[in-house]
Amino acid sequence: MKRKIALLAMAAMMVASLTACGSGGTSDGGSSSGSSSDVANADKPLVWFNRQPSNSSTGELDMTALNFNDDTYYVGFDANQGAELQGTMIRDYIEANIDTIDRNGDGVIGYVLAIGDIGHNDSIARTRGVRSALGTAVETDGTVNSDPIGTNTDGSATAVQDGTLEINGTTYTVRELASQEMKNSAGATWDAATAGNAIGTWSSSFGDQIDIVASNNDGMGMSMFNAWSKDEGVPTFGYDANADAVAAIAEGYGGTISQHADVQAYLTLRVLRNALDGVDIDTGIGTEDEAGNVLSDDVYVYNADERSYYALNVAVTAENYTDFTDSTKTYEPVSNQLDESTSPKKSVWLNIYNASDNFLSSTYQPLLQKYDDLLNLDVEYIGGDGQTESNITNRLGNPSQYDAFAINMVKTDNAASYTSILSQ
Ligand code: BGC
């Protein structure tokens, strides 16, 4: 009997303590199955990533979305620095291989360009970077035209011009033979299959003029490489340093750019973690945290006016690609586990705008999944179809369940579709 009473008393105590745990406050460390706070959804930490809230025609930043609340940030990479690097990487390649690059010997170095999304800052920057480095850019009021040109085998297009490169005292002509936004009929952009088809069309009508294939990303670049340029020995350049593209450098892929996804994925979750813990936003970023995590300033920049963290890019070529073969490895200086007593489990809603985007699904998300453990975040990953915002926003039906949000929009103009849900 005595034992039974003791057991009952124990059970009663357990119920009492469980109730106390569930009674709200941000200090609940035990729950991993949803938000434990009374914070209004509109005041919860929010990070935009990969697609910066901005006007898709002008590129102007959407400062309302970037200042949604005091704990709102954007995490991406420095698009202009990366674009310039991609252009320079291609020009360097041409210079180093000038004796063999002009395949048909017509004196014109011809390239084709796969454009990801004409309304996406990163895509626009990369198109401009390639054109600027190769001398094919046309500027109006100081801005390089980034429009696709269709085909331009005769050099008559107005959105680009024939460029010239001076190499070892000889002047060579460079021509953008064709470019196209790789959008499929359903509306998905950066579409690898569309790029594979485009190179088929281009190569069958003017294949011998194509000396270089350039692409706004590796997904499209690899599709063109596998469909045509690998067998033809035509150097193909992409962006993202996805593992398959890095491996393909051994087989003639010309090169790619690492946008330091390992640093970006960390920052995406780290800014949420810091806001949730109520610590200085620089903790574990520019300032070492207790676990020893810290980033040096050669891998990212923070622009306070834009509320944006930008990772810096690195060129990956035949010279250094062996250092980049595992694209899903966490960045060593920020790979230390946080202590759950000071950074308790919190739940995060996170979406990937297109579950079949090569970069986001094969590089970015696997990295996020490693960092969420290290940062004690319980992340729910939502994969979109790449075309419709509502396909994603429909799955943000109960924001009160989460402590923080990480958003990757389909269209960079659409921030309000998300913030209006959080403000309800
Ligand atoms: C990547 C692309 C990707 C896009 C998605 C870019 O930063 O380079 O590969 O398709 O993000 O938004």
Amino acid at 393: T
Output the CA 410–ligand 1 centroid distance in Å. Answer: 11
Output the CA 21–ligand 1 centroid distance in Å. Answer: 41
Locate 46 and state its tokens. 């929010």
| Ligand 1: nearest atom to the Cα of 239 | 8
| Ligand 1: nearest atom to the Cα of 242 | 9
Locate 51 and state its tokens. 């697609």
189 lines ligand 1 (CB under 6 A): no
Residue in the structure block whose two tokens are 């938000």: 35
Task: For residue 358, give the 3-state DSSP assignment.
Answer: helix
How many Cβ atoms are within 10 Å of 220's Cβ, its own excluded?
30
DSSP annotation string for 136-150: -B-EETTEE-----E
How many Cβ atoms are within 10 Å of 117's Cβ, its own excluded?
23
Output the CA 393–ligand 1 centroid distance in Å. Answer: 20
Per-residue pLDDT of the chain (424 residues; tens, 9 = 90+): 444 444 444 444 444 443 333 333 333 333 444 666 789 999 999 999 999 999 998 889 999 999 999 999 999 999 999 999 999 999 999 999 999 999 999 999 999 999 999 999 999 999 999 999 999 999 999 999 999 999 999 999 999 999 999 999 999 999 999 999 999 999 999 999 999 999 999 999 999 999 999 999 999 999 999 999 999 999 999 999 999 999 999 999 999 999 999 999 999 999 999 999 999 999 999 999 999 999 999 999 999 999 999 999 999 999 999 999 999 999 999 999 999 999 999 999 999 999 999 999 999 999 999 999 999 999 999 999 999 999 999 999 999 999 999 999 999 999 999 999 999 9
Cβ–Cβ < 8 Å for 299, 309: no
Cβ–Cβ < 8 Å for 112, 178: yes
| Ligand 1: nearest atom to the Cα of 217 | 9
37 lines ligand 1 (CB under 6 A): no
Handedness of CA 89, 91, 95, 101 (dihedral sign): positive
d(CA 298, CA 263): 11
What does the pLDDT look like over 10-48, one tens digit per residue?
Answer: 444 444 443 333 333 333 333 444 666 789 999 999 999
- pLDDT recorded at residue 58: 87
Distances (CA, A) of 204 to 164, 273, 289: 26, 52, 57
H/E run at residue 173: strand 170-181
Task: For residue 287, give the 3-state DSSP assignment.
Answer: strand
Cβ–Cβ < 8 Å for 133, 114: no
122 lines ligand 1 (CB under 6 A): yes
Output the CA 117–ligand 1 centroid distance in Å. Answer: 9
289 lines ligand 1 (CB under 6 A): no
Beta-strand (E) ranges in 64-128?
72-77, 108-115
> Phi, psi at residue 354, to the nearest 5°?
-140, 110
219 lines ligand 1 (CB under 6 A): yes
Whose C-alpha lies nearest to ligand 1, atom 3? 359
| Ligand 1: nearest atom to the Cα of 190 | 10
359 lines ligand 1 (CB under 6 A): yes
357 lines ligand 1 (CB under 6 A): yes
Alpha carbons within 13 angstroms on the beta-carbon side of residue 342 total: 10
- pLDDT recorded at residue 321: 98
What does the pLDDT look like over 318-337, one tens digit per residue?
Answer: 999 999 999 999 999 999 99
48 lines ligand 1 (CB under 6 A): no
Nearest to 338 by CA among 272, 260, 400, 401: 272
Output the CA 216–ligand 1 centroid distance in Å. Answer: 8
Instruction: Provide the 8-state DSSP code for 354.
Output: B
Chain centroid to CA 402: 24
| Ligand 1: nearest atom to the Cα of 120 | 12
Angle at 6 between CA 13 and CA 21, to 5 degrees: 10
Locate 76 and state its tokens. 């991406």
- β-pairing verdict for 236-237 and 210-215: parallel
Output the CA 34–ligand 1 centroid distance in Å. Answer: 30
239 lines ligand 1 (CB under 6 A): yes
Beta-strand (E) ranges in 225-358?
236-237, 256-258, 300-303, 308-311, 314-316, 346-352
| Ligand 1: nearest atom to the Cα of 51 | 12
* Residue length of the chain: 424
| Ligand 1: nearest atom to the Cα of 408 | 12
Cβ–Cβ < 8 Å for 310, 303: yes
Output the CA 119–ligand 1 centroid distance in Å. Answer: 12
DSSP annotation string for 291-328: T-----TTSEEEETTTTEEEEPPEEE-TTTGGGGS-TT
Output the CA 339–ligand 1 centroid distance in Å. Answer: 33
237-266 residues labelled b (16+ CB within 10 A) or e (exposed): bbbbbbbebbebbeebbbbbbbbbbbbbbb
Radius of gyration of the chain (CA): 25
